[in-house]
Structure 1
Amino acid sequence: MKKRFLPKNVADHTERRNPSKSSERKRPIGKIVERFENLYGALGCRFEYRESKIVQMSERPSSSEKCKKVKTCSSGCLSMEELERKKSPINPYNRAEYPPVQWLPPDVEDTDTSIPCPERETFPMPHIHTVFCPPKDLQKKENGYISATRAKEDCREELARKEQYRKIRDKVEKAVKKHKVFLIRGELPKLKKALEDRGWVQKYESTQTRSLPYGSVTYLEAKSLGDIRLSDGMLNERALMFTMLRHKAPDLIWDCRNDFVDWDCNLKSNTVLNRYQKPAAYTSKLGMANLLQESHWLYELDVADVNCPRSYNLTRELSAFIKDFRLTAAAGLLKWLVESARDGAVDKDRDTFPVDIGQVEFALRRCEECVADAKHESIDQPDPEVSEEEWNRFCDDHNRVLHKENEIPDCRSTPSRLQKAYEAAVTVLEEIKEIDSQYFLNGKRNVWIMKPSHLCCGSGISISHDLKEILRRAETRPKEYFIVQKYIEHPLLVQGTKFDIRLWYLVTCTFPLTIWVFREALLRFSSKPYTFSSYHEAIHICNTAIQEKYDFERRRRRKRGDVIEAAETVRDQGWDCEKLNECLKSMGYKGEPYYDTIYPRMAQAIVMTMLAAQESMDKRRCSFELYGADFMVMEDLSVWLIEINTNPRMHPPSSKISQRLYGSVLDSLVKVIMDLPINPSSDTGGFVLTYMQTVPEFRPYLGPCFFAIGKSMTLHEQPRKKRQERKANICSPWSKQNRAWTAPPTVARLRDPKVVDFIDYLNSAGCAAVN
C-alpha cells in the first residue's frame, strides 16, 4: 500500500493517536513546505504556512490567533516562530485569507516547478490575490492533478476576466451617469459605432419583446445573446451589458423595423426617439396623395414647390380614375397620329389607315369637350352621352395600335378626312398642353402603375395599360389597399437604362419645421434596358430590394456555369451624382445640370411636402426622423416626387456606393442630433440646413387688431345668490380654482384668429366708448 501525505490537521490528529509515528509524519511535510518556500522565493513572492489545530465545531478561531512561519533545519525537523497578522488599515474587511495547501501524491511527478504569481502591474487585483493565486478548483485528470503551468494559466484567465468585468462595469456606470444609453431595434453597425465613439453604451433586449411597444412589458431574459462566458473563457460583453442595464430605461431609441409599433405611453418625455408617431398620414402612398392635392396653397417661389404624378384611390375615386384613364387614352391616340405623320410612319395621302378613322374623330370630340370644360365654355351646354360600349371599343383599338402593332388591321379612309383629323389633332393638343400640367408626363401609351399603399421594398407593384385588368386587381384586395398612379413614360435614361434618385433628409423639429437635406443622393438603376415590350420589374422598378434579386440570380448562374454573362450593366458601374452631372453635360444640357437644376428642385419638393404634412406630424420635443424621398427625372430635367419612405434602408449596403453613403448619412445624423445642440458651430457632416420655419406672433392675413364692433353680449346667465353661497361653502380639490391642468402640452394654432370684444378693448385702453 502506497503512503499518502495528509494535510497538517490530519497529521496532528494522527500524532495524538500514535505518538511514535509523529516524526515520520512531520519530516515529509517539512520537506514539501521547504520546497514551496524556495519556489516562491525564486519568483519574488512570499509563502506563508498556517498550522491549524483540531478544534470543536462550535469553537471559532479568535482574531488574536497567531500564525507561525515554517523553517526547516538541516536535520529536517520543523521550528515555528509566532508572527502577528497585519490588518488592512484601509478596509478592515479586506484581510488576507490563505487557501489550504494542495498536496501532490508521491506517485505523481511534477515536471513543471513554476508557481502562478501574476504581477500587480499587469493585473491590479485585491489584496487576496497578491500573496497566493492558485486556481479556485483543481480539475482532475486521468493521471492525477493538473500541473502548475495549467494552474498559472487558469489564474491569469481569471484575472483577465475580472479586469474585463471591471472595465465593462465602469463604462456602463459612466454612460448611465451621463445619460448615454441607447437601444437599437434592428441592425445598424454604422450608427452603433458612431454612438459608441461618443461614449454611448448599447442596451440589448430579448427576442420575445422586439415586436412589442417599448416599455409595455418587463423583459429580463435574453437567451439570444448567449451565455455570460464565451467558449474561450472570456466574458460575453453583450450578455453582461444586458444584465447590467435590464432595469435601466434607454436615453435614445432607434427603431428601424418596417412593422413599426407605436411607443408605449409610459415612455419618458426626455427619451430621444427616431420616429414620429403615426407617420402613415403623410408617408403612405394614399396619405401623400391626399396631402399634395391641396399643397398648391403652400407654394413659394424657389422655396416650396412639388411635382407629383396624379394618383387615385379606387375606393373613393373610381369614377374620376375611369374618366381620366379614357381621356388620357384619347389624347394618346392623337399624339400617336401627329408623331406618326411627322415621322413618315403614316401616309396621309393613302386610302388605308392602321385604325378606324372614326375612332380618331371620337378621340377629337372627347378632347375638345375636355378643353371646353377646363375653360368653362360648356356651362350652358348639356353633357354629351357616350355609352360604355363606345368607350370600351375605343380603348381596345387604342391598345391594338399602341401596344400590339402586329395586330393592326388596315382600315379604309379618305385622304381629305385624314388630313382634316390631323390638323384638328394638332390644334387640340396645343390647347391641352396649356391646361394640363402633366401633358409631357402622360405620354401616349396610357400606362398606369398600381402600388400597395402601406407596403415597401417594391412589394405588390404591378404595371398595366388595360382598364379591365386594373379594376379586376383592385377588386381582389381590401378597400384602400391600392393606389393607382400615372406612370412616367418618358424618364431620363442613362445608357438606355431607367433610374431613380433616393435623397435623404432629416426633420429635427416639427414646429417650427426644421429640415436638413443630405448633399449627396443615391442613384438606383435598373438591371435591364428600358423598354415597353415587357412590364418586368427588373426593367421598370428601380427599388434596391427588387434589383438585388436579379443580381443574386446572375451571380448564381455564373457560379454554376449555365450562362455566359454579358458585359456589366450600368448598375454595376458605380454611378454617383458627380458622374451623372458629367453625363448630362455630355448629353447637351448647359451649366451644372444636377447641382443647378435637379438637386434644388428635389429640395423644394421635400419642403413643400413636409409643410403640407405639418398638421399631421407629432409635436414631440425629443423626436427626430430620417426620411428617404424617391424622385424621377424626365428628359426635360423636370423632377417628380414618387414617394416618401419613413424607414429608408440603411443596412446592409448593396454596392460600394451605398456602403459609403449609408455610413456617411448615419455619421452625419449623429453629428446633427448629438453634437449640434451642444456646440452650435460644430460640423454637421453631409447634412445642410435647407429650411427653418419662421413663426410670427400673428399671421399677416389676420393682423393684431382685427375687431368686431358691436355691443357686448352675456353668454351665460348669472347664477342665483343662494346657489353661489351654497357653492362657496364646498371645499373640493377638483373645483375650478383648484383643478390642475393635466392635458398634454400642445402647440397653439396660430392660424386661428383672436376674437377680441371691441368695448372691452376700448375700456382697457382707456378710450371713450364709440357708438
Structure 2
Amino acid sequence: MVQMKKKASTGSEDKLHHAAPNPSRLRKAKALADEAVKMRKIFSVKGPYPVIRAALRARGWVEQRTHGAKQHRSSVNRASLNDGKSSDDAEREEDPDELHDLMSRLVRNEMVYFCWTNRRDAISTKNLHKDQIVNYFAKAGSLVTKAGLCVNLRNLYWFDSADPDTFFPRCYRIGAQDEKHAFIEDYRWTACTSFLRWVVERDQGAKRSVQTVQGQRKQSKRQLTPLAFSQMISSALKVCQEYLQSLEHGDIDTSLEMAQVLSQKEWAEYLNSYYLCVHGGASAEISNYFVSCCKAMLQRLEAVCPQIGIDGINNIWIIKPGAKSRGRGIKCAKRLDQILQLVTSDLMLVKDSKWVVQKYIERPFLIYGTKFDVRQWFLVTDWNPLTVWFYKKCYLRFSTQPYSLDTLDRSVHLCNNSIQKNLKPSQQRHGGVPADNMWLDEQFRAFLASQGKAAQWETVVVPGMKKAVIHALQTAQDLMESRKNTFELYGADFVLGCDLHPWLIEINASPTMAPSTPVTADLCAAVQEDTLRVVLDRRVDRAANTGNFQLIYKQAAVEVPQYRGINLLVEGFNIKNPRPLPPLKPSNRSAPKCLGTAKGKGCTARRRSHRSGELKSNGAEPAPLLPEPSVPPPTKIPPLHPAKTADKQVPLCDKSHSVVLWKSQAEASHVSSESEHAPQGSAEILSHERLPLLNSQTKQSSAPPVLQINV
C-alpha cells in the first residue's frame, strides 16, 4: 500500500513538473526557440536517425516532434547502440535537462524548414513551401527500382556515348512479352558462348569451380557420341557467327528464314545436350580442330561483347522482384524452363512487368575464396542542373559461405547484410574474412596491395563506379521531379569482376544507416554528418568543408521557358464575292487548246519554254522569250466541248455554277492588292465547286474571320 501511494505521488509530481517547469530553464528554452524561429531553423526527423538529430541541434536547430515523447524514446533507442543502458538512461543522456523537449513544445505550431524521413509517403512534395528542405525526390521509381533502372539504361545513347553493357549486366523485364522473347534469345546465345568456353577450358585442363563431385561421377557414366558433340560445336559456331554478322550489319539482306539458324526443335535438343555437358558432367572426345575453332570464335566475341567475361560457362541468371529490397524474393537459376517457371508463378507481378531477370556475374573477384559486394554512397542535390556528390569512402559486405557454383543458395550469392546477418559463418570459409562480414575500403586496398594490385583501386574501381553512377542518373533525369531545396542520399551496390571492373547491380533509396557493425557504426555516422555539411553548411558558405563528399558531376543548367499565358491568334482575310458571269453554254465545237486573245500565243509560249528546257539540257543557249503584251481579257468565255457518253451529252457544269477565269483590269488590280496581305497558300483562281460555298459564307458575314487557339 505504501509503495502504491509513493508511485501515485511520483506520477503526480511528474505531471506537475511538466505543467510548471523551472522558470530559468523555461526562459532559456524560449530564447533558443525564438531564435530558431527567427532564423528558420525548425526541423523534423522521422525514423531512427540520432546522428541527424544531434548534428542539427549542434547547429542551433530546434526539433518539432510529431509523436509523443514515449514513441520518440523508443525509436531513438532502437537505432542507437545502448551498450546495455536502459531507455531512460539513453533519453537522459540525449536530453539531460529536458531542454530540447521543452523547446519542441514551444515550436509545435511553427513551420518546419528541414525534414529528414525514411518514408517517401510521409510527406507530399506538392504541398511544401519553396523554403522547406526535404531529403528525397518524388518519382524516383525510374532510378531506385530494378525494373526502372533496367529500362532507363537502355536509353543511355540519347544522353551519352557510353554503352550500358560495359557497367550494367544485361537485364530484361520478363513480364513484358517482347522482352521475354529477347531474354530467351539471349539465353540461347549465352548457352552457345558458354559451351565454346567449356570446350576450351576442358582442353586446357583448367580447374573449374563449377565441377562438383556429383558431376565427376556422372562424367564416368555419361558420354556423348562424337557425332552429337561435333553437331553441338557446329551449331554453337553458327549461332555466334550469325551474331557477329548482325553486329556488323551483314544480315540486312538476309531473309528471316536464313537468320533463323536453328529451329525450335534443334534448340531444344541443343540445350539438353548443353545441360548434359556443363551441368551433368558428360564427357566427349575433343579434337584439336574444334578447340582451335572455339578459341578463334571466343577471341572475336571478346572484341565486341563487353560482358562475355562475366558469363562463365553455367549460364546462370538471377531473378528479382522489381520493386522489393533487402534481397527479398531473389533467386538464382540456370535452366531456361526453371527461370520461366519461377517468373510465371506470380501472375500479378507478371502482369505489372515487375519481375526482372539479370545475367549473374559468374566470375567475380574473390577475397579468400569468398564473394563480396561494395556499398557506395552518392548524393544528388539538384536535377537541373544535375549535381552529383560521390563519397570517397565505402565498405564491403561478405558472404558467410565460401563461393561456389555447386549450389545456387542465396547464402552464397547474395551479400546483403539483411540476409547474411541471420546466418552463421561456414567453417570452410577462410579465416581472413571478418566475423562481422564487413570491411572498410582501407582494408580492401591493403588486400589489393598484398596481391600486387594496389594501383587498380584508383585506376579501375573508383573511376568505373563514378561513371556508372553518372550514367544511371543521366537516364533518369527527365523522369525525376526536379524541386529546389531537395536532396537525396542513395546507396549503390557494385560487384567487381575478376579483372576488378565494377558492375552496377542496383541503386537503393533511403539506404540503411543502422550501426549494425563497428564498420557501419563509424562510417554511417560520418556519411550523415557530411551530408548535412553539403546540404546546409555549403548553402551559407560555398567554401565550407564537405567532408568526404566529392563533387564529380555538375551539368550545365538548362533554362525552362516560362509560360506567359499569351493566346496564339491566327488571323486571315475573307475573299470578296466576285461579279457573277454568264453561265457556260454547251457547244458542238471543240474547245480551243489554249485560251488567249492571240491565236495559239499561250501554247506557243509553253512549247517555246519546253523547247528552251531541252536546249538547255543539251548544252545550247535557249532563245529569249518575248513578254506577251497585256491585252484586256474578253467579257465572254469561248464555249467548251461537252463530255460525250454512249447515248447523251453531259454538260461540264451546271447553270447554277460559275467559273471565275477572267477579271477586268480594275478588279484584277484590286484583288492583287488584297492578295499581298492574304495568308500564304490562298488561291487566286477558285474552282467552280468552291464558289457557291464561299458566296453563301460571305453573304452572311463581311467581317474577316479570326481563329483563336489557346495554348
Q: TM-score range by the shorter chain?
A: 0.5 to 0.7
What is the match of residue 386 of structure 1? 262
Listed as ranges, the matches of 1:524-535 within 5 Å are 524-535=397-408
CA contact (8 A) 2:402 2:429 kept: no
CA change 1:304–1:374 in 2 (3 A) is closer
Q: CA deviation at 1:426?
A: 1.8
CA change 1:444–1:184 in 2 (3 A) is same
2:444 counterpart (574, 580, 590): 580
Q: CA deviation at 1:401?
A: 2.6
Secondary structure of the structure 1 residue equivalent to 2:525: helix
What is the match of residue 374 of structure 2? 501
CA contact (8 A) 2:153 2:164 kept: no
What is the match of residue 526 of structure 2? 664
CA contact (8 A) 2:316 2:359 kept: yes
Give, as a single letter, the amino acid of the residue that structure 1 aligns with 2:526. S
Listed as ranges, the matches of 1:694-709 within 5 Å are 694-695=556-557
CA contact (8 A) 1:299 1:305 kept: no
What is the match of residue 605 of structure 1? 468
What is the match of residue 632 of structure 1? 495
CA change 1:649–1:156 in 2 (3 A) is closer
CA change 1:294–1:517 in 2 (3 A) is same
CA distance in 2, matches of 1:279, 1:262: 14
What is the match of residue 308 of structure 1? 168
Deviation by residue 1:450-476 (Cα, 9 ceiling, x = unmatched): 111111111111111011111112112
CA distance in 2, matches of 1:286, 1:608: 16
Secondary structure of the structure 2 residue equivalent to 1:426: helix
Give, as a single letter, the amino acid of the residue that structure 2 aligns with 1:397. S
Give, as a single letter, the amino acid of the residue that structure 2 aligns with 1:269. K
Give, as a single letter, the amino acid of the residue that structure 1 aligns with 2:63. Q
CA change 1:300–1:683 in 2 (3 A) is farther
Q: CA deviation at 1:235?
A: 8.6
2:509 equivalent to 1:646: yes
CA contact (8 A) 2:135 2:487 kept: yes
What is the match of residue 249 of structure 1? 111
Q: CA RMSD in A?
A: 4.2
2:414 equivalent to 1:545: no
CA distance in 1, matches of 2:293, 2:15: 96
Secondary structure of the structure 2 residue equivalent to 1:493: coil
1:337 counterpart (183, 199, 202): 199
Considering Cα pairs closer than 8 Å and 6+ residues apart, tell me whether 1 or 2 has the greater RCO: 2
What is the match of residue 682 of structure 1? 544
Q: CA deviation at 1:289?
A: 1.5
What is the match of residue 134 of structure 2? 273
Give, as a single letter, the amino acid of the residue that structure 1 aligns with 2:333. S
CA change 1:574–1:454 in 2 (3 A) is closer
CA change 1:607–1:567 in 2 (3 A) is closer
Deviation by residue 1:309-350 (Cα, 9 ceiling, x = unmatched): 01001122000000000110111011000111012789xxx9
Listed as ranges, the matches of 1:221-240 within 5 Å are 240=102
1:181 counterpart (23, 42, 45): 42
Give, as a single letter, the amino acid of the residue that structure 1 aligns with 2:242. E
Q: CA deviation at 1:360?
A: 2.8
What is the match of residue 14 of structure 1? none
Deviation by residue 1:214-246 (Cα, 9 ceiling, x = unmatched): xxxxxxxxxxx99xx99xxx9966765554333
CA distance in 1, matches of 2:438, 2:275: 38
Give, as a single letter, the amino acid of the residue that structure 2 aligns with 1:643. E
2:317 equivalent to 1:455: no
CA contact (8 A) 1:305 1:605 kept: no
Secondary structure of the structure 1 residue equivalent to 2:536: helix
Give, as a single letter, the amino acid of the residue that structure 2 aligns with 1:680. R
CA distance in 2, matches of 1:567, 1:695: 52
2:243 equivalent to 1:370: yes
CA distance in 2, matches of 1:546, 1:608: 29
What is the match of residue 708 of structure 1? none
What is the match of residue 403 of structure 1? 279
Deviation by residue 1:388-417 (Cα, 9 ceiling, x = unmatched): 333233223323332333xx3x56x6x6xx
The TM-score, its normalising length taken from structure 2, stands at: 0.66
CA contact (8 A) 1:284 1:454 kept: yes
CA contact (8 A) 2:490 2:511 kept: yes
Give, as a single letter, the amino acid of the residue that structure 2 aligns with 1:623. T
Higher helix share: 2
Task: Give the unaligned 5+ runs of structure 2.
Answer: 72-86, 209-219, 561-675, 683-697
CA distance in 2, matches of 1:193, 1:450: 41
Q: CA deviation at 1:298?
A: 3.6
CA distance in 1, matches of 2:111, 2:316: 52
CA change 1:295–1:460 in 2 (3 A) is same
CA distance in 1, matches of 2:206, 2:23: 87
What is the match of residue 470 of structure 1? 339
CA distance in 2, matches of 1:540, 1:584: 22
Residues paired across the two proteins, number = 527
2:457 counterpart (594, 607, 618): 594
CA distance in 2, matches of 1:396, 1:379: 31
Q: CA deviation at 1:534?
A: 1.4
CA distance in 1, matches of 2:246, 2:35: 71
Of stretches 303-312 and 275-284 in structure 1, the one that deviates more from structure 2 is: 303-312
CA distance in 1, matches of 2:151, 2:403: 30
CA distance in 2, matches of 1:573, 1:343: 34
Q: CA deviation at 1:182?
A: 1.0
CA distance in 2, matches of 1:203, 1:365: 69
What is the match of residue 640 of structure 2? none
Structure index of larger Rg: 1
Q: CA deviation at 1:361?
A: 2.7
CA distance in 1, matches of 2:304, 2:437: 41
What is the match of residue 420 of structure 1? 289
CA change 1:305–1:686 in 2 (3 A) is farther
Q: CA deviation at 1:168?
A: 3.1
2:362 counterpart (489, 509, 512): 489
